[in-house]
Chain A
Amino acid sequence: MALDLGGRILRSRTVAALASPHGIDRYLTQINPMLAAHEVRARITDIHPEVSAPGAPRVATVTLQPTSTWRGHRAGQHVSVGIDTGEGRRTTRVFTVSNTESKPGEPLTITVRAHEDEHATPYSISKFLTERATVGTLVHLSQAEGDFVLPDRVPEHIVLISGGSGITPVMSMLRSLQRRTHRGKVTFLHWAPSADRQIFADELDEIRRQGHGVDLHIMHTSDGAPYLSPALLEKLVPGFREVPTWACGPASLIEAAQAAYAGTESLRVEYFKPPRTAGVAGGEMEFARTGKSVANDGATILDQAEAAGLTPESGCRMGICFSCVTNKSSGRVRNVLTGETSELPDEQIRICVSTPEGDCSVDL
């Protein structure tokens, strides 16, 4: 009760007026970063390795105790995670909340796979979380976001499809369904490279053993399991195009699923990265502030800027966090998520999900 009253006072208009223009959280954080009236922060309370096979990228489930400002999440939603990774820098990336639907102030988990590629940056958040983070580390969160979620009334039969670390949102859905004691049928198809790289392996075994209306198929492709195809789907889920489906995974898997569902409304997808179906090359991409320009290669403006040696701000790199918003003074851009184009002069665009079409100039 007392706590609640404190929270209400801190969120009152009077306090907001007194703390203007900085906001009350700017003062509370000086006392203790876990005190907040609006923002969400959390401390790591547990780090549980999921995959630590030699040669495989590490995967870990990180449990976070948020401030009381956390409003909870719906299964399938994601959260921005900002971490001070050293050298005075904070990097922010988006991760799916992997545990059962949480209520306000309740702990949440994220399940993170160490990101390895030739471009990996020294500030990699996934590497930090799987290798360097410890219990007690402070992280800066957003509220849960995203509409890749189950409806309140779950249909009688649903299909969940995932690949690799894309298992996180569907796992949260599955766990929540079990808690909600969903009586219908769930067909869960998951692709992973091999058994020793399987995230949530023990829990999946348990689900398989118990049954409970979950029809589980795990495909380990290095053991010769088939890739996603319409034929395979038809075999496992007859009439699959009519069954509400949620799919999350690498671009190749999502594209295969989209081809199989042939544009039917049943399929909902979630990307961790913008689709690689890049834009059109051609024309000149100009970075007006630094006076650089490159031949437009059809990649996102963020990627082209980074390739040109610039370091624009970015966070989620997926159009979610708005930290990459930049003024585009001229040119036409295509949003790689929606396919929409726009060519208004002096427009604020998210460069992580915009590809130029022809000549384009941005304030970078």
Chain B
Amino acid sequence: MTSVEKTGNRRLSPEELEAFGAEMEAIRQRIVADLGEEDSAYIYDIVKKQRAFELAGRALFYLPVIGWVPAVACLSISKILDNMEIGHNVMHGQYDWMGDPDLNSRMFDWDTMAPAENWKYGHNYMHHTFTNIVGKDRDVGYGILRMDEDQKWHPYYLGNPLYAFLLMTFFEWGVAMHDLEVDELVAGRRTWAENKEIGARIWRKVKKQTLKDYVLFPLLTGPLAPLTFAGNFTANIIRNIWTFNIIFCGHFPAGVASFSQEECEDETQGHWYYRQLLGSANITGSRTFHIMSGNLSHQIEHHLFPDLPARRYPEIAEEVREICERYGLAYNTGPLRKQLFGVFKKICKYALPDRKSEAAAAAEPTPVLEGVAA
């Protein structure tokens, strides 16, 4: 496990944790009290832009040859905005306070294969509650990759880089299938019956998405149908690659800590904040970059305050940084290429068996994954 110590961070005393938690809570209260016109105007504006890009994308496919690249670009932007700054954030309930059913976490569905309902459980509940608790947070490696040394090595993991590449390319399918917990099914810890409803939802959504992107819109462009088909496919892949990279940079670059289940038993609010902070990493970039990443480039702030509107994260970040400095905690941030390199290294490193001696391994606490399996 990449324990807190291994990331070069210190453990806080119970008193420090409490004070740390209180400071975070104060930020939260202040922002909640301040939510208003600007936040709603912002998200309405993003929605407007997303719809405009989408329409432009769909329309440009009618322009033979020269229209194709701009069409794919517009559609990719539309899907990225839809999935990240709008979908992901709305489904977190960041805009529920506005009282607009169109931006309500219970009603919203996004333009990807993953049905909102399934995703909200796996992501909002499992991942955000159990962030980076190995054996509980199913986003650690997505049940496909080995991203932590506590996941026991197996020759299967030699394919880590290949799986990562495939997961990246078909990320929306990965996210959709994620909730079926196929790995758990294979291991016999989950039954088909438990998956029935989840599977039915995926099937319904996949049918709709496929019909729209791969049948109807291509057909509407008549003789250009094959090009439109290819364009829609490309836009979906571009979106997949982008979202995969942003998300993996948020949790798996160097210096991100993971936690054992024992560490998190009867967790205090202070420790919860502490774990969220150390389990996430930010990416630096321009304003446009932040918007295109749904402000998940501020993964730290997102994990501290998952239901505050993401446009507030940059402003919150300054304060969080200052607090981290005072408590002597690292604030993991860096440009995209640095964070990506860290992720890439991890994917390759964990493809291979651990190099450290058996003795050292024995000295570590029992691997948690096995504890769960037992």
Contact = CB atoms under 8 A, between A and B. Distances in A.
Nearest to B109: A21
B222 interface: no
Given A18-B212, A20-B209, A82-B99, A87 B55 contact: no
A92 B104 CA distance: 14
Interface string B80-103: 000000000000000011111010
> Chain A CB within 10 Å — which of B40, B102, B209 has the most?
B102
Contacts of A88: 35-41, 98
B43 to A, nearest CB: 9
14 contacts: A18-B212, A20-B209, A21-B205, A27-B55, A86-B37, A87-B36, A88-B39, A88-B40, A88-B98, A89-B40, A90-B98, A92-B99, A313-B96, A323-B99
Contacts of B63: none
B36 A21 contact: no
The B interface is mostly helix, strand or loop, or mixed, namely: helix
Contacts of B52: 30
Interface of B: 35-41, 48, 51-52, 55, 96-100, 102, 106, 109-111, 205, 208-209, 211-212, 216-217, 220, 269
A85 to B, nearest CB: 9
B110 A21 contact: yes
A346 B223 CA distance: 53
B99 A18 contact: no
A14 interface: yes
Nearest to A313: B96
A70 B62 CA distance: 36
A90 B109 contact: no
A208 interface: no
A26 interface: yes
Contacts of B100: 90
Given A90-B100, A91-B99, 16 more contacts: A14-B216, A17-B211, A20-B208, A20-B211, A21-B208, A21-B209, A22-B111, A26-B51, A86-B37, A88-B35, A88-B37, A88-B40, A89-B99, A92-B99, A291-B269, A323-B99
Contacts of A14: 216
Interface string A25-38: 01100100000000
A17 B216 contact: yes
Interface in A79-120: 82, 86-92
B51 A89 contact: no
A311 B48 CA distance: 28
A20 B54 CA distance: 12
Contacts of B99: 82, 89-92, 313, 315, 323
Contact of B51 (A17, A27, A86, A311): A27
B172 to A, nearest CB: 13
A195 B240 CA distance: 68
A276 to B, nearest CB: 26
B209 to A, nearest CB: 7
Interface centre among A27, A89, A92, A311 (most CB of B within 10 A): A89
Nearest to A82: B99
Nearest to A14: B216
A20 B113 CA distance: 11
Contacts of A313: 96, 99
A333 B102 CA distance: 30
Name the residue among B35, B41, B100, B110 with the largest chain A CB count within 10 angstroms. B100
A276 B208 CA distance: 47
Nearest to B43: A88
Nearest to B96: A313
B107 to A, nearest CB: 10
Contacts of B106: 325
Contacts of B110: 21
Interface in A47-94: 82, 86-92
B51 A30 contact: yes
Contacts of A86: 37
Contact of B102 (A26, A311, A325): A26
Contacts of B39: 88
Nearest to A26: B102
A15 to B, nearest CB: 10
Q: Which 4 A-B pairs have the closest CB atoms?
A: A88-B40, A90-B99, A21-B109, A87-B36
Contact of A89 (B97, B211, B212): B97
B83 to A, nearest CB: 11
A83 to B, nearest CB: 10
Given A82-B99, A88-B38, A88-B41, A20 B212 contact: yes
Interface string A151-176: 00000000000000000000000000
A102 to B, nearest CB: 24
Nearest to B95: A88
Contacts of B269: 291
B48 A30 contact: yes
A82 B52 CA distance: 26
A18 B216 contact: yes
B266 to A, nearest CB: 13
Contacts of A18: 212, 216-217, 220
A14 B96 CA distance: 30
Given A20-B208, A20-B212, A27-B55, A89 B109 contact: no
Contacts of B216: 14, 17-18
Contacts of B55: 27
Contacts of B36: 87-89
Interface in A311-336: 311, 313, 315, 323, 325
A325 B55 CA distance: 35
A327 to B, nearest CB: 11
Contacts of A91: 99
Nearest to A312: B96
A14 B97 CA distance: 33
A17 B208 CA distance: 7
Q: Which one of B99, B208, B216 has the highest number of Cβ atoms from chain A below 10 Å of its Cβ?
A: B99
